[in-house]
């Protein structure tokens, strides 16, 4: 892989203070220390020999020599001290390490935590440790709890936003399965308050916590709890891609099981005529009435 100019420049800046503190170090040992070949190290030394402060006469250039395979450096031109992070760089590192800490398994997480705490102690004058707070991916944190509930066989207590009614309800659910779709994650679960299986959108779950109650097995759905609707829509439409986990292809369109008729009515209207509701007739009639009412307002 071709090395970038930035990576080489950083190595050169690190090389000078190392040579200052290790006068007479061998070429082979130095190359090994920086993870490069002897040939590449000699090229670096040739380049350093031409570096210095403005003026760039022999008096302002870095003076170094290689004799009998040993390196000596004189007059390092203000580069004798190792690089140090600025407060901004240290802050960026602390945030990045916090994010990394959230993603790693426990053994590796502890190592990252120690490194983050060390940087925090060294650079705490502007931003103290207590002032830095990192919030992980909410969806990922919710999925952790859901996976733990499934593996331990416990119920979950959630606060769920119903976008149709613009209200939040508290529910106790027994997770049955998780369905990952391209644009959303759906949770199939037995809902204690609804006394049936319901599908929840992960993004609409606002609070979630485990309980000590054992989960309930999936019970047969009563005919009154689920409604079968049929729609006609192009296979490459947004409606199909968004709901592909719930749609079943039939000869003249798709079938979909729904618990809230109003949800499908609003989805059909939102598609602006690209989706046709074939059945049930009562829902089809409601879509027509709402569409007609909306068109009257435009007149």
DSSP secondary structure string for all residues of 213-234: EEPPPPPPPPGGG-EEEEEE--
Closest CA to 124 of 94, 102, 153, 155: 94
Closest CA to 142 of 63, 86, 226, 200: 200
Same domain as 158, residue 111: no
247-250 vs 196-201, strand pairing mode: unpaired
- Return the pLDDT at 223: 43
Q: Note down the domain range covering 99.
A: 87-128
User: Which residues sit opposite 214 in a β-bridge?
Assistant: 154
Read off the DSSP letter of residue 52: B
Question: Could you tell me if residue 253 is inside a domain?
Answer: yes
- Return the pLDDT at 253: 85
Question: Could you tell me if residue 133 is inside a domain?
Answer: no
pLDDT of residue 60 exceeding 80 = no
Tens digits of residue pLDDT in 94-152: 888 887 877 776 677 888 888 888 888 877 666 666 666 666 667 777 888 888 888 88
Same domain as 144, residue 123: no
Same domain as 278, residue 235: yes
- Return the pLDDT at 222: 45
Closest CA to 78 of 61, 65, 90: 61
Question: Could you tell me if residue 54 is inside a domain?
Answer: yes
Tens digits of residue pLDDT in 181-237: 767 788 888 888 878 788 888 888 888 888 888 886 555 444 445 788 888 888 877
Question: Could you tell me if residue 220 is inside a domain?
Answer: no
Which one of 168, 185, 214 terminates a domain? 214
- Return the pLDDT at 158: 92
Question: Could you tell me if residue 82 is inside a domain?
Answer: no
pLDDT of residue 269 exceeding 70 = yes
What's the structural domain count of the chain? 4
Same domain as 44, residue 68: yes
- CB under 8 Å, gap of 24 or more: what pairs does 129-135 form? 132/91, 132/94, 132/95, 132/98, 134/95, 134/98, 134/99, 134/102
Same domain as 62, residue 12: yes
Which one of 74, 99, 115 terminates a domain? 74
Closest CA to 140 of 97, 194, 104: 104
Question: Could you tell me if residue 81 is inside a domain?
Answer: no
Tens digits of residue pLDDT in 272-289: 888 888 888 888 888 888
- Return the pLDDT at 164: 61
Q: Which residues contact 235 (CB under 8 A, 6 or more apart)?
A: none
pTM of the full structure: 0.41
Question: Could you tell me if residue 80 is inside a domain?
Answer: no
Q: What CATH number corresponds to the domain at position 182?
A: 2.30.30
- How far is the C-alpha of 292 from the C-alpha of 231, rounded, in Å? 19
Question: Could you tell me if residue 169 is inside a domain?
Answer: yes
Same domain as 154, residue 114: no
Listed ranges 50-59, 79-88, 289-298; the one with the highest mean pLDDT? 289-298
């Amino acid at each position: 892989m071709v090395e970038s100019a930035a990576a080489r420049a950083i190595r050169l800046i690190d090389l000078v203070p190392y040579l200052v503190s290790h006068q007479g170090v061998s070429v082979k040992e130095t190359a090994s220390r920086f993870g490069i070949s002897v040939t590449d190290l000699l090229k670096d030394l040739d380049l350093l020999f031409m570096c210095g402060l403005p003026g760039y006469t022999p008096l302002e250039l870095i003076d170094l020599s290689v004799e009998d395979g040993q390196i000596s450096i004189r007059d390092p031109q203000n580069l004798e001290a190792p690089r140090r992070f600025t407060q901004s760089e240290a802050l960026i590192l602390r945030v990045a390490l916090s994010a990394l800490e959230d993603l790693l398994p426990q053994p590796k997480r502890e190592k990252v935590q120690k490194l983050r705490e060390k940087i925090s102690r060294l650079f705490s004058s502007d931003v103290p440790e207590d002032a830095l707070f990192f919030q992980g991916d909410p969806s990922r944190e919710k999925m952790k709890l859901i996976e733990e509930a499934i593996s331990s066989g416990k119920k979950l207590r959630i606060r769920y936003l119903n976008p149709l009614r613009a209200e939040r309800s508290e529910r106790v659910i027994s997770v049955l399965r998780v369905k990952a779709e391209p644009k959303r994650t759906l949770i199939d679960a037995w809902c204690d308050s609804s006394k049936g299986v319901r599908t929840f959108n992960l993004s609409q779950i606002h609070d979630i916590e485990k309980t000590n109650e054992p989960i309930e097995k999936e019970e047969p759905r009563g005919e009154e709890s689920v409604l079968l609707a049929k729609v006609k829509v192009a296979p490459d439409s947004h409606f199909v891609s968004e709901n592909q986990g719930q749609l079943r292809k039939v000869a003249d369109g798709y079938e979909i099981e729904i618990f809230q008729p109003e949800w499908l009515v609003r989805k059909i209207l939102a598609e602006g005529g690209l989706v046709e509701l074939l059945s049930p007739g009562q829902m089809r009639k409601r879509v027509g009435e709402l569409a007609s009412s909306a068109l009257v307002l435009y007149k």
